Amino acid sequence: MPRIAKPERGVPGRSTGADHGHTSRETPPAALATYRYRAFLSYSQGADRLLATRLQGALEQLARPWYRRRAIRVFRDQTELAAAPELWGSIRANLERSAFFILLACPASVRSRWVKREIGWWLRNRGPQSLIIVLTAGRLRWSTSGLPDDPGPGRDQGDDRDDDQAGLEHDEDAIPGFLRRALGSEPLWVDLSDFRGNAHAGLQDIEFVNRVATLAARLHGEGVSPSDLVGQDLAQHRRTLRLAWSAAATLAVLLLAALLAAGIARHQAVNAQLRADVAVASNLLQTRPGLALTMLVATRARSVESIWTGHRALPELERTMPGAVAHTRERLAFVAHAGEPVWDVALSPRDPALIVSAGGDGSIAAWRLVDGVPTLLFRARLGDPGSEPLAVAVSGRGERIAVAGSDGHVRLYDGGGRQQWARPMPPAAGDGRSSTSRGR
């Protein structure tokens, strides 16, 4: 068991463990449930605001079940007390709603008029049995002289003027003289002076937890020991971690399933639309082949755009409607490539009506579909005689056209068919050839 209170030289009877020699009556658990707050924190805001905040949080969170916001409720005026026209009336109302009184004892609290008034109210109405002291600074002295005299009409028992006049108060005293006389013998108290001003004091500090557990055990009622609370807190922490990891894993699985379902649904919707467009184009092939071609090109552009960047239209269309593609090949070859075969066709990614073809006559041609009829925009021949364009690709709205030739060079053209540059293609992996040729 960790040491709870620091021994003080020359003060006999100082308790250093959780079992103190006080004669207070334990509050029955049933009675605790009738109070809104399990404890009222009385402290000097100028001296112990930070420690009071940490202590309140630790008492409320220690051994807290995962499904509850707090294990117990602790009143602290900085967080709980709303603005009221009559401040003392609000403080007194919350004192009445509290089962225990926790005093953060230090010389500054001895000088605080509000703290002494709160102590006086508690001694008059509840007695010292349910009062707990937390030492934050200074020293504690005990008296066996018994209860003080009645303060008389119009004077609060928290008024300590007689002590001051009699010279009973010392600069280092942590509790006022009237409280010392009312307590008589040493009550339950815990030393938290080591944690004063420590912004990191909390449930992560095992020594802080052990000392706070001594207070919390009293607040939780009979049959609860500090070690029980510490053990419950560790068990709750492990259970919370397991639940958090399980929830994270479940969310990850659900997210993956949702993404897969969305992808599958989108793919199915695209395929369904493609099949519908192809069916309509098939019906138009015999009567209006140009319009059928326009529909197929636009459909394929929409479906292919999100799948790969090359937009190589001709192989895709050939698998979909070989009759329409054969008609397109023949028409493009006859109009632009002097009857030579058409090796490749590419679509503009953002302008499906723009088509670029690569022909066996050594030229490329740019087309635009107008009312289903291909209209020639320009034709450009490769620079080297005998070189044929084998593959073409179009960027954006047709600003750039890349051509792979049979001479092993890649050429870049602008949107008007003017060559920008030509560079050799790198050899393919595992292939020593730097150029390709296509048989006719």
Lookup: tokens for 105: 């004892």
Rounded to an integer, what distance in angstroms lies between the CA atom of residue 178 and that of residue 28?
28
Catalytic residue among 60, 80, 118, 330: 118
The 3-state DSSP class for residue 374 equals strand
d(CA 230, CA 224): 11
Q: Is 318 a catalytic residue?
A: no
CA neighbor of 211 nearest in space, from 101, 23, 58 = 58
Q: How many of the other CB atoms lie within 10 Å of CB of 33? A: 10
Spatial CB neighbours of 308, under 8 Å, sequence gap ≥ 6:
none
**Cβ–Cβ < 8 Å for 162, 180:** no
- Residues 339 and 334: their CA atoms lie apart, in Å, by 4
179-195 CB burial, b ≥16 within 10 A, e <16: bbbbbbebbbbbbbbeb
**Under 8 Å between Cβ of 104 and 44:** yes
Give the strands of the sheet with 74-76, arranged side by side.
74-76, 37-42, 98-105, 131-135, 189-191
Nearest to 295 by CA among 353, 358, 375, 335: 353
Phi and psi, residue 306, nearest 5°? -95, 5
Token duo for residue 165:
């006049």
* 232 torsion bin: left (phi>0), alpha (psi -120 to 50), beta (else): alpha
Tokens standing for residue 12: 């006999």
User: Radius of gyration (Cα) for the chain, nearest Å?
Assistant: 44
Non-local CB neighbours of 70 within 8 Å, separated by 6+ positions: 60, 61, 64
Residue among 374, 367, 412 at smallest CA distance from 393: 412
Residue 38 φ/ψ, nearest 5 degrees: -80, -25
Q: Which are the catalytic amino acids? A: 118
